[in-house]
């Protein structure tokens, strides 16, 4: 795909860093990509200019693991990533997978978009949505899609100055929580452009029943 920026047409591609089954977790596969932008060098004799502008990590949870008595999908997912553990709990935590989420059990597989990072200068082009669709096309066939929106940049932890009163500490913590809440809400609105909807009973988590159904949502991805 291409993005017009700074007077150049940039080619955006995903470069695989790692695809692996997790150690001792045959039913969880991780995918990590670097997001790279390339443009021709101003001098035709020079190589093109490459710029790493972000990264994305996704996991596929293979539903057959739910039926393996020797495998704890929720625990294994949580050991890898806390957000992935939340997704596994939502989809596999009940006795009946997807119970309370949908009556249409399209598939027991789940593709989880776990993290995405984009440099500030590259935001605002719906690039995140387009990158997500590339990952979905590559790894989401026959799977549900789930994600937990979180701020693109981790904020610094609350700093409590020496001598702060308990009331001041509580106010600082409240403001930090409010900023995180607003950041997550903003990203939720962004990702809903893909057609994602909230998971019933799991505040802040988004999903779609059938990942490949989202392919038409962003043009020319």
pLDDT band, very low/low/confident/very high, at 93 (cuts 50, 70, 90): confident
How confident is the model over 129-152, as pLDDT tens digits? 889 989 998 998 888 899 887 754
How confident is the model over 28-84, as pLDDT tens digits? 999 999 999 988 766 665 567 788 999 999 999 998 888 898 999 999 999 988 889
Q: Which residue has the higher pLDDT, 215 or 192?
A: 192
Residue 159: per-residue pLDDT:
60
CB 97 within 8 A of CB 106: no
CB 129 within 8 A of CB 186: no
pLDDT band, very low/low/confident/very high, at 173 (cuts 50, 70, 90): confident
pLDDT band, very low/low/confident/very high, at 191 (cuts 50, 70, 90): confident
Mean pLDDT of 103-132: 83
Quickly list H helices, 6-142: 73-80, 82-92, 127-139
Spatial separation of the C-alpha atoms in residues 27 and 60, rounded to whole Å: 8
Spatial separation of the C-alpha atoms in residues 173 and 114, rounded to whole Å: 26
Computed over every residue of the chain, the mean pLDDT equals 80
Spatial separation of the C-alpha atoms in residues 77 and 209, rounded to whole Å: 20
CA-CA-CA-CA dihedral for 205, 206, 212, 215, to nearest 10: -140
Cβ-in-10-Å burial (0-12, 13-18, 19+) of 33 comes to: buried
Q: For 125-152, b where at least 16 C-beta lie within 10 A, e where not — what string? A: ebbbbbbbbbbbeebbeebbbbbbbbeb
Structure pTM? 0.80
Range in 77-86, 122-131, 159-168 with the lowest mean pLDDT: 159-168
Instruction: Quote the strand ranges of 40-131, DSSP E.
Output: 49-61, 110-118
How confident is the model over 193-220, as pLDDT tens digits? 888 888 877 767 888 887 767 655 554 4
Spatial separation of the C-alpha atoms in residues 65 and 73, rounded to whole Å: 6
How confident is the model over 178-190, as pLDDT tens digits? 887 887 788 888 8
């Amino acid at each position: 795909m291409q993005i017009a920026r700074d007077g150049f047409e940039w080619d955006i591609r995903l470069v695989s860093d790692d695809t692996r089954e997790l150690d001792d977790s045959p039913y969880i596969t991780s995918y990590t990509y670097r997001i790279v932008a390339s443009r021709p060098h101003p001098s035709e004799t020079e190589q093109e200019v490459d710029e790493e502008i972000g990264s994305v990590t996704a996991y596929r949870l293979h539903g057959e693991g739910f039926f393996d008595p020797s495998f704890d999908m929720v625990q294994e997912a949580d050991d890898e990533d806390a957000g992935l553990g939340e997704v596994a709990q939502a989809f596999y935590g009940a006795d009946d997978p997807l119970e309370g989420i949908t009556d249409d059990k399209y598939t027991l597989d789940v593709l989880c978009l776990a993290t995405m990072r984009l440099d500030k200068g590259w935001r605002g082009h719906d690039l995140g949505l387009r990158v997500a669709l590339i990952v979905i096309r590559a790894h989401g066939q026959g799977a549900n899609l789930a994600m937990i929106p979180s701020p693109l940049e981790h904020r610094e932890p609350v700093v409590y100055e020496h001598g702060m009163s308990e009331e001041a500490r509580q106010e600082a913590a409240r403001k930090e929580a409010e900023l995180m809440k607003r950041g997550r809400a903003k990203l939720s609105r962004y990702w809903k452009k893909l057609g994602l909807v909230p998971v019933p009973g799991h505040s802040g988590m988004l999903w779609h029943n059938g990942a490949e159904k989202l392919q038409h949502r962003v043009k020319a991805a």
